[in-house]
Amino acid sequence: MVMKPDRREFLKAAAAGVAGVTLRAAGLGLPGAGARAYAADAPLAVTHLADNLILVSGAGGNVVGFKGPEGVLLVDGGDAAHSAALLRTVEQTLGGPVTTAFNTHWHWSHTGSNEALRRAGVKLIAHENTRLWLTEPVFEQWENRTYPARPKALPTQTFYKGLQKLPFGGTTVEYDLMPQAHTDGDIYVYFRDANVLVAGGVVSVGRYPIPDSCTGGWTGGLVKATQQLLGVVNDQTRIIPGTGPVQTRADLAAEQAMLATLHEDLWQLMRKGMGPDDMIAAAPTRKYDAQWGNPDLFITTAYRGLYGHVREMRGVV
Ligand SMILES: [Zn+2]
């Protein structure tokens, strides 16, 4: 079986999720079958962000590598299909073995190198919830897919919340948990000296971010998480999204404003008794679709997230 570069690309009609909504993958900005084959074969692209700091794209999810005297620190590991090529590229470009790595969240597009990293004795840092999602099978309703447990992929060092600081390469790498947003274990990793923020799946480019309600994500958390990131960055910060090109603070601010508006608008539609089909028909995202693409998956997963937070949202009915 060919591993595909991003788990979201496993979308198919059967994955329509709640209430039989038909998702049109082609309209989501996701590559079709031919594009997937191309993406899997395409060479990885390396962008130099600073001295000893690189972005590797094309490995499923974005990966950042940082070289210090201790070895190489990696933020995320792409998907399993690209793992060998990714690790080879990182080690050749930065000239050293990976000794420390982060997972920004549990999704397979970002944790695909975990087994290899564990075999190599790498210290693997993540939020505790990321570890927990890898310890058990996860059924993703929006993809109609079950992700089996990966006992050989578990992070070796986890934390719960609060700003963490890791001395590495003569500098300090900062990381912290975000509110339940894309998942319930989203962390950012910030290279303050280089002013590079790795944002994981919370920051999305050209398609709506997914509040993965099956593993704790929801729009209320995406609103707060993007707000939190705005407090970390400045106008010169380069922001690395889960996939796609480097973003600026202005890009992040636009995403945050979009999310805040749609979170409230979808909530109001829910209060009127609408289900996800009704919401899609009401086209509440109309003015954003030119930038963010087909909203069906976003609306469907947002609905499920809102439904799971009804009490927090002051009660629906
Ligand atoms: Zn993700």
**pLDDT of the residue at 313:** 82
243 Cα: distance to centroid of ligand 1 (angstroms):
9
pTM for the model: 0.87
In whole angstroms, give the CA distance from residue 215 to residue 43: 31
Residue of 187, 195, 193 lying closest to 157 (CA atoms): 187
183 Cα: distance to centroid of ligand 1 (angstroms):
7
CA-CA-CA-CA dihedral for 26, 23, 226, 45, to nearest 10: -30
317 Cα: distance to centroid of ligand 1 (angstroms):
32
**pLDDT of the residue at 290:** 97
5 Cα: distance to centroid of ligand 1 (angstroms):
12
179 Cα: distance to centroid of ligand 1 (angstroms):
15
Question: Distance of alpha carbon 136 from its chain centroid, rounded?
Answer: 19
201 Cα: distance to centroid of ligand 1 (angstroms):
5
Low-confidence ranges of the chain (pLDDT < 70): 1-42, 315-317
195 Cα: distance to centroid of ligand 1 (angstroms):
23
For every residue of the chain, which 3-state class applies, written as one string? CCCCCCHHHHCCHHHHCHHHCCCCHHHHCCCCHHHHHHHHHCCCEEEEEECCEEEEECCCCCEEEEEECCEEEEECCCCHHHHHHHHHHHHHHHCCCEEEEECCCCCHHHHCCHHHHHHCCCEEEEEHHHHHHHHCCEEECCCCEEECCCHHHCCCEEECCCCEEEEECCEEEEEEECCCCCCCCCEEEEECCCCEEEEECCCCCCCCCCCCHHHCCCHHHHHHHHHHHHHHCCCCCEEEECCCCCECHHHHHHHHHHHHHHHHHHHHHHHCCCCHHHHHHHCCCHHHHHHHCCCHHHHHHHHHHHHHCCCCCCCCC
170 Cα: distance to centroid of ligand 1 (angstroms):
30
69 Cα: distance to centroid of ligand 1 (angstroms):
31
**pLDDT of the residue at 40:** 52
176-205: pLDDT as tens digits: 999 999 999 999 999 999 999 999 999 999
Structure tokens at 46: 């390396």
272 Cα: distance to centroid of ligand 1 (angstroms):
30
**pLDDT of the residue at 312:** 84
Sorted by sequence, the CB contacts under 8 Å of residue 221 that are 6+ apart come out as 178, 179, 180, 181, 184, 211, 305
**pLDDT of the residue at 25:** 31
**pLDDT of the residue at 30:** 32
44-92: pLDDT as tens digits: 999 999 999 999 999 999 999 999 999 999 999 999 999 999 999 999 9
All structural domains of the chain: 7-258 (3.60.15.10)
182 Cα: distance to centroid of ligand 1 (angstroms):
7
- Compute the C-alpha angle 247/203/95, nearest 5°: 65
